[in-house]
């Protein structure tokens, strides 16, 4: 999984273990194919994620199944009334966020659900990180588990994709770090007791031990922005949608793992 420590002999004959390690780490992250955050977890967390009973994210899957069936108010259709089983949308999930030609904007899973809640169910849309929205997004993404993230981006979304990549590579915050600094250049290296992942988004919403709960992609972006001491954008903000689009494109081919367990 991780590159093994390479011991190199320098011309002067000194053994530099540290340099060898650094070098092999950097080579592996630039050359290798995209790897899910799963690959950067220890044995125990990988087992927890794979456990079909004890993965804590499954609590939200259960709740999402119930919400999917239930009409939010009398005389209003339930999600299931129009869509049938949540799995009927599984082909759409790996293509999100995507370009909506009608609105000429990007839309992600949270946005689509919120839009349906207000337009079809005539309800106030569930806010980001509410239990209801997390349960629904988790249930839908869970139904698409195993499908590869799509790398396809509509022609009209090309500028948004470019802005997403620019966001990823731009240094920000008091620490002056870009997403790419940690998740590309130093992916696989140690940060305190942790191993830096590639920042892939194929497991979201994730059950994160740090949060002791489930969180969306945008919560993770906000968390990361705060960690480099940058002002985070609001949930659902355009820069985060563009970043999400870029990260889907960047992680194309990775299987969806929702609900993933992460540290």
Partner 1 sequence: MGTLSLPVRLALPAEAPAGGVVSLRLLLQHPMETGYRIGEDGARIPRHILTRLRVSYGDRVIADLTLRPAIAANPYFALSFIADETGPVTLEVEDDRGATLTETRMLTVVP
Active site amino acids: 224
Residues numbered 143 to 202 that lie near partner 1 (CB under 8 A) are none
Helix (H) or strand (E) holding 261: strand 260-262
Position 226 contacts partner 1 (CB under 8 A): no
Nearer to partner 1, 134 or 220 (CB): 134
Position 132 contacts partner 1 (CB under 8 A): no
Stretch in the footprint of partner 1 (CB under 8 A) among 22-30, 37-45, 59-67, 231-239: 59-67
Stretch in the footprint of partner 1 (CB under 8 A) among 53-61, 69-77, 152-160, 174-182: 53-61
Position 50 contacts partner 1 (CB under 8 A): no
Among 46, 63, 163, 172, binds partner 1 (CB under 8 A): 63
Would you call 28 helix, strand, or coil by DSSP?
A: helix
Asked if 154 and 233 touch (Cβ cutoff 8 Å), the reply is no
Nearer to partner 1, 59 or 166 (CB): 59
Among 27, 50, 54, 152, binds partner 1 (CB under 8 A): 54
How far is residue 135 CA from its own chain's centroid? 16
Helix axes 131-143, 58-69, angle to 10 degrees: 100
How far is residue 200 CA from its own chain's centroid? 6
Position 232 contacts partner 1 (CB under 8 A): no
H helix intervals, the chain: 17-31, 43-50, 58-69, 79-83, 109-119, 131-143, 158-169, 179-180, 217-227, 238-250
Position 56 contacts partner 1 (CB under 8 A): yes
Task: Retrieve residue 6's tokens.
Answer: 């390479």
Residues making contact with partner 1 (CB under 8 A): 53-54, 56, 58-59, 62-63, 212-213
């Amino acid at each position: 999984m991780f590159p093994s420590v390479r011991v190199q002999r320098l011309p002067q004959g000194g053994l530099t273990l540290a340099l060898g390690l650094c070098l092999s780490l950097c080579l592996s992250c630039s050359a290798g194919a995209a790897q899910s955050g799963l690959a950067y977890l220890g044995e125990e967390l990988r087992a927890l994620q794979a456990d079909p009973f004890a993965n804590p994210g499954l609590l939200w899957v259960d709740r999402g199944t119930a919400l999917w069936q239930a009409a939010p108010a009398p005389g209003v259709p339930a999600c299931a009334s129009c869509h049938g089983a949540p799995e009927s949308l599984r082909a759409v999930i790996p293509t999100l966020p995507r370009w909506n030609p009608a609105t000429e904007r990007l839309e992600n899973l949270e946005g689509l659900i919120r839009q349906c809640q207000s337009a079809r169910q005539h309800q106030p849309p569930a806010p980001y990180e509410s239990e209801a929205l997390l349960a629904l997004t988790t249930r839908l993404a869970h139904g698409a588990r195993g499908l590869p993230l799509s790398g396809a981006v509509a022609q009209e979304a090309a500028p948004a994709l470019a802005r997403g990549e620019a966001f990823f590579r731009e240094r920000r915050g008091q620490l002056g770090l870009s997403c790419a600094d940690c998740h590309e250049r130093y992916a696989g290296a140690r940060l305190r007791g942790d191993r830096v992942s590639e920042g892939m988004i194929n497991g979201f919403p994730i059950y994160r031990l740090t949060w002791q709960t489930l969180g969306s992609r945008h919560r993770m972006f906000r968390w990361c922005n705060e960690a480099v001491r940058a002002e985070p954008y609001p949930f659902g903000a355009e820069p985060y949608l563009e970043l999400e689009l870029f990260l889907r494109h960047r992680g194309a081919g990775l299987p969806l793992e929702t609900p993933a367990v992460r540290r």
